[in-house]
Chain A
Amino acid sequence: MQTAELIRQHLIDPEICIRCNTCEETCPIDAITHDSRNYVVKPEICNNCNDCVAPCPTGAIDSWRSIAKPYSTAEQFAWDSLPAAAEDAGNEDRPGDIPEEVARFAAAASQAQGGTAPPPWSAAHPYVGLYSLARPAIATCAGNFRLTAADAGSDIRHIVLDFGTTAFPVLEGQSLAVIVALAGGQHVRMYSIASPRNGERPGYNNVSLTVKRVTEDRDGKPVRGIASNFLCDLKKGDQLSVAGPFGSTFLMPNHPGANLIMICTGTGSAPMRAMTERRRRRLALKEGGELMLFFGARTPGELPYFGPLMKLPVDLIDVQLAFSRVSGKAKEYVQDRMRACGGKAARLLADENTYVYLCGHKQMEQGVEAAFAEICGVDWNAMKERMRSAGRYHVETY
C-alpha cells in the first residue's frame, strides 16, 4: 500500500513555547531562529534530526503539520497559535496513537470493503503505532533484491529491513511507514509488510517489503517517486527511519482449518506473501485450511515472487495467475481467473472459516466484486456485508 505525497513540517507551538532559546542553542545546523515574538523553524534548513526535541522544556518544539507548501518563517513569526485544527495532523507523535494520515489512508484503502471491518476473531493482537513519525525506529537495510526479470519494464524489489535490538513486532497484513527526510519536512509512505511475524528470516528481528520503483504516474507521465526510489536505492547497511507498525484489522485468522482467499496485483502481493509464508512455516503442524491465491500481473517477468510461488507445495496453496500482456495469449485479469475457478471459490465462500483478502490497484475492485457476485450465487452485497462485519472480508487498495 502506498500513499499520496506528504510534506511534514516541523513547527513550534507559540502558545506553549516559553522562548527559552534552548532549541536555537541546541540545533546543530542553525535551523531555528527567533524575533521578539516567536521562535520558529526555518523550513528550508531543518532536516528533522530531532536534536531539539528532547531538550525542549515545554514540548512546544514537538509540533508537526502536514501541508502541501511549508509555512515560511515570516508566516510563523506572525502566529499567536499554530494553524487551525483542520490542517492539524493530530497528535501523530504520541506513542500508541495512529497518525491522522495513516488513519486517513487506511480508511481510503479499505473503502471498498463497505465500512470498518473487525479483524478475524482468531487474529493475534497487533501492536500498533509503537514508533511515530516524530519518534521513529531506526532500521538497517539487510538486503535489496530485484524481483522482476531484468528485461521487465517494472523494477519491483524485495527489501529486508533489520531492527537490531529495537522491538518492532508485526503481524501478517500490517504495514509500516517509511520516512524520508527532505529539506523543510518529511516524506512519508506506507508499505505492507511482506514477511511473517517471526521475521523474514525466522528468529531474526527483520521484516521485508515489496517495493515498486515509481518512475511514472498513473497517467504515464514521468515522475520520480521519492520514497520508492529511496528504498529501491538502499544498500546493505544503510539506515532509515520507520514508523509503525500500523493496521489492526487486515490480519490473518489463526485458528486451525481457516481458509484464505487472496486476490492481488503487483506489490499488493506483499501481505499475501506474508500470510502464505506464515502458513508454509506451519505446514508440519497439519492445522488444515486451504489457501487460494489469485494474482495478476502483465507478464510472468513482472510478477513479483513468481519463482518462489511456483515452488510452493500444491497441498499448501492453489496459485492462480492471470497475465494481461502475454503476447499471443488473450488478456486475462484476476476476475477472469476467479470465474474460471468459480466452483471452488463458491465452496470456500460459503464456509464461515473462509477469509477474503484483496490488495492491489483500485481498478481491480470492480471486476473482483462482479466476479464474486457471479460466483457466490446469492445477493453478493448482503453476503459481503455479513462477511465484512464478521471480519472475513478485507480490502486494501490504492
Chain B
Amino acid sequence: MSGINYSEKIPNNVDLASNRTLQRALEHWQPNYLKWWADMGPDKSTSFDVYLRTAVSVDPKGWAHYDYVRMPDYRWGIFLAPAEAGRQVNFGAHKGDTAWQEVPGEYRSTLRRIIVTQGDTEPASVEQQRHLGLTCPSLYDLRNIFQVNVEEGRHLWAMVYLLHAHFGKDGREEGEALLARRSGDADNPRILTAFNEKTPDWLSFFMFTFITDRDGKFQLAALAESGFDPLSRTCRFMLTEEAHHLFVGESGVARIIERTCELMAQHRTDDVAKLRGLGVIDLPTLQRYLNFHFSVTSDLYGSEVSSNAASFYTNGLKGRFQETTIGDDHRLESAQYPVMEVIGERIVTRNVGAVTALNERLRDDWTHDLENAIERWNRIPEKHGIGFRFKLPHKGFHRRIGVFAEHHVSPDGKVLAEAEWTHRHQQWLPSAEDRAFVQSLMGRVTEPGKFANWIAPPRQGINKQPVNFEYVRFG
C-alpha cells in the first residue's frame, strides 16, 4: 500500500486504523509533539504560510506535492517505503534468514537504543536551528530551512512509530523522553554532543546540513540495511527526505563561495579585511568552519574500533553503507580494515578485524562523499580564476572521541605538542572574532527575489518556481 490516508488524524501508510491500541498511543503522543513544536519549533513562525513539499504517497509520483502550509498544520505522519517481497537479512550471523517483522527478543534493548539515538537527533536539530528564521538571507532560504525543520519533525515521527509499534511501554516512555530532552540543556541535554552545539548563524546551518545531515544520511543508509524490516523501510523513506537537507547545505555554502569569489574577482583581492569590508565571508573563514563541523561530526561515528559496532553487524541490526552492493561474504569473519593510531609523534595505520572497524568504515564512506562534494565547491574559485582550494582536515584533527581524543593533530596530519596546538589552533578553527563577523552579517531579507549581500541567489527556484517566488507569506 503506497497511498497515504490523509483523512485520518495521523496520516500513514501502515494501516494504523487496524491497530487501535497503537493508534490510540500515537494519538496520545501527537498533542505532546505539537506542544513541543510550538515550544521548540521555528521561532515566531506559526502564522506563516510556507511553500512546502508534502508527500501525498510514498511512490515516486506522489512524492512531492507543493503547496502553502502553516507549519503547525503540516501533515506529519508515518510513511514506510514499500515492502520488498521476500526480503532477507543480508549480512551477519543471520544472513539468509527471512527479515524480521518483529523485534527479536534478544536484540530488543540494543535496537531500542539505536532507534532512540537516531530519533534524538531529529528534534535536536530543529531546536538548534529554531532562531535562524529571524535572520534569513532570503525568502527562498527561509522556506528551505522550514522544509528541513518539518522533515526533521517527520523523522522523529518515524522513529516514535517504531518505538510505539515494537517496544511497548518502554517505547512509549522513550517517545515522551524524546520530547523532553533539549539541545544544549545542562540538565537534560540531547544524547549526542554535536547536537548540543549551537547553530548560531546561517553559515553554521549550511555547514551543519552539508556535513552533519550527511552523517544522518550514512547512519540511515546503514540502518536501511537492517534485518529488522520496519526499521529498514522507515529509513529508506527518510533517506529521500534527507537528500533535500544535503542539497540545502551543499548549495548554501556553494552560493556563499560564489558570492565571495565574485567580489574577489571584481576587486582583484584576496585580502581578508577588504573582503570583510565588502560584506562577504572570506574563503579562509569558510575553511575554518568546514574544519570545525567536519571534526565535530566525525566524533558522531564513535570509536575506530568498536565491539558495539561489531555486534550490531553480526546480529543483523545495522549494516554497512550500500551493504548489498558490496562484493564480499557479508559476515566479515576474516576480513581486515585499516585504522589509524598514534604512536609517539607518528600516526600509523594498522589492520584490524573489519567487523570491529565498522564505525571507521562508515566514517570513511562519509568522508569520501564529502570529498567529492568539496571538489564540486572547488570548481567555483577555479571558474573565477582564484587559486584557493577547500580541503578536509586530517581525520585526527580536533577530535574528542576515539584514538585521536588524547592527541592534538594539525589539519595536515601532524601530531602537535600541547603548546603548539594552543598557539596555532585558532588558525584552523573559527575564532570568536570569525564568529562575531559572520554573526554581524546576519540580517533578515524577506523581499521576494532579494538576497543578503553575502550569498548568491540559487541557480533555480524550488519546484521550478522562479527565484523571486513568494516562498513564504507572512500572516
Asked, given contacts A16-B459, A18-B251, A94-B464, whether A57 binds B372 with beta carbons under 8 Å apart, the answer is no
Asked, given contacts A62-B464, A80-B379, whether A57 binds B247 with beta carbons under 8 Å apart, the answer is yes
Q: A36, B247: Cβ atoms under 8 Å? A: no
A15 to B459, CA, bound (A): 9
Q: B240, A55: Cβ atoms under 8 Å? A: yes
B64 interface contact, C-beta 8 A: yes
Q: B247, A58: Cβ atoms under 8 Å? A: yes
B250 interface contact, C-beta 8 A: yes
Q: B246, A57: Cβ atoms under 8 Å? A: yes
Asked, given contacts A18-B243, A19-B372, A20-B243, whether A54 binds B63 with beta carbons under 8 Å apart, the answer is yes
Residues of A within 8 A of B327 (CB): none
B61 interface contact, C-beta 8 A: yes
B266 interface contact, C-beta 8 A: no
A22 interface contact, C-beta 8 A: yes
Residues of B within 8 A of A18 (CB): 243, 246-247, 250-251, 373
A383 to B463, CA, bound (A): 47
- Checking B243, B251, B464 against A22 with a beta-carbon cut-off of 8 angstroms, the contacting residue is B243
Residues of B within 8 A of A19 (CB): 369, 372-373
Q: Which of B338-376 contact A (CB under 8 A)?
A: 369, 372-373
A349 to B193, CA, bound (A): 83
Asked, given contacts A57-B244, A93-B464, whether A51 binds B251 with beta carbons under 8 Å apart, the answer is no
A59 interface contact, C-beta 8 A: yes
Residues of B within 8 A of A25 (CB): 239-240
A26 to B239, CA, bound (A): 11
Q: B60, A26: Cβ atoms under 8 Å? A: yes
Q: Which of B58-91 contact A (CB under 8 A)?
A: 60-64
Q: Return A29 CB to nearest CB of chain B, in Å.
A: 12
Q: B61, A51: Cβ atoms under 8 Å? A: yes
A59 to B246, CA, bound (A): 13
A91 to B465, CA, bound (A): 11
A137 interface contact, C-beta 8 A: no
Q: B246, A20: Cβ atoms under 8 Å? A: yes
A320 to B238, CA, bound (A): 67
Residues of B within 8 A of A22 (CB): 239-240, 243
Q: B247, A20: Cβ atoms under 8 Å? A: yes
A103 to B239, CA, bound (A): 40
B460 interface contact, C-beta 8 A: yes
A52 to B59, CA, bound (A): 10
Residues of A within 8 A of B240 (CB): 22, 25-26, 55
Q: B63, A55: Cβ atoms under 8 Å? A: yes
Across chains A and B, the number of contacting residue pairs, with CB separation under 8 Å, is 58
Asked, given contacts A16-B460, A18-B251, whether A54 binds B61 with beta carbons under 8 Å apart, the answer is yes
Closest to B369 in A: A19
**B220-249 interface mask toward A, CB cutoff 8 Å, 1 = contact, 0 = none?**
000000000000000000011001101100
A51 to B373, CA, bound (A): 25
Q: B251, A95: Cβ atoms under 8 Å? A: no
Q: Return A137 CB to nearest CB of chain B, in Å.
A: 14
Q: Which of A38-58 contact B (CB under 8 A)?
A: 50-55, 57-58
A47 to B88, CA, bound (A): 31
Q: Return B167 CB to nearest CB of chain A, in Å.
A: 28
A52 to B61, CA, bound (A): 8
Residue among A22, A28, A51, A80 with the highest chain B CB neighbour number at 10 A: A22
- Checking B64, B246, B251, B372 against A36 with a beta-carbon cut-off of 8 angstroms, the contacting residue is B372
Q: Return B154 CB to nearest CB of chain A, in Å.
A: 15
Q: Return A332 CB to nearest CB of chain B, in Å.
A: 52
A131 to B57, CA, bound (A): 22
Asked, given contacts A18-B243, A22-B243, whether A59 binds B60 with beta carbons under 8 Å apart, the answer is no
Q: B373, A95: Cβ atoms under 8 Å? A: no
Q: A95, B247: Cβ atoms under 8 Å? A: no
Q: Return B26 CB to nearest CB of chain A, in Å.
A: 26
Q: Which of A87-145 contact B (CB under 8 A)?
A: 91, 93-95
Q: Which of A239-286 contact B (CB under 8 A)?
A: none
Residues of B within 8 A of A52 (CB): 60
Residues of B within 8 A of A54 (CB): 60-64
Residues of A within 8 A of B459 (CB): 15-16
A52 to B240, CA, bound (A): 11
A184 to B168, CA, bound (A): 51
**B406-423 interface mask toward A, CB cutoff 8 Å, 1 = contact, 0 = none?**
000000000000000000
Q: A55, B60: Cβ atoms under 8 Å? A: yes
A28 to B59, CA, bound (A): 11
Residues of A within 8 A of B250 (CB): 18
**A10-31 interface mask toward B, CB cutoff 8 Å, 1 = contact, 0 = none?**
0000011011111001101000
Q: Return B21 CB to nearest CB of chain A, in Å.
A: 33
A91 to B247, CA, bound (A): 21
Residues of B within 8 A of A91 (CB): 464
Q: Return A78 CB to nearest CB of chain B, in Å.
A: 14
Residues of A within 8 A of B463 (CB): 59
Q: Which of B186-240 contact A (CB under 8 A)?
A: 217, 239-240
Closest to B322 in A: A21
Q: Which of B418-475 contact A (CB under 8 A)?
A: 459-460, 462-464
Mind listing 20 A-B residue pairs with CB under 8 Å?
A: A16-B251, A18-B243, A18-B247, A18-B250, A18-B373, A19-B369, A20-B243, A25-B239, A36-B372, A53-B60, A54-B62, A54-B63, A55-B60, A55-B243, A57-B246, A57-B247, A58-B247, A59-B462, A59-B464, A91-B464
A→B interface (CB under 8 Å): 15-16, 18-22, 25-26, 28, 36, 50-55, 57-59, 62, 80, 91, 93-95
Given A19-B372, A22-B243, A55-B63, list of 17 further CB < 8 A pairs? A15-B459, A18-B243, A18-B246, A18-B373, A20-B243, A20-B246, A25-B240, A26-B60, A36-B372, A51-B60, A54-B63, A55-B240, A59-B460, A59-B463, A59-B464, A93-B464, A94-B464
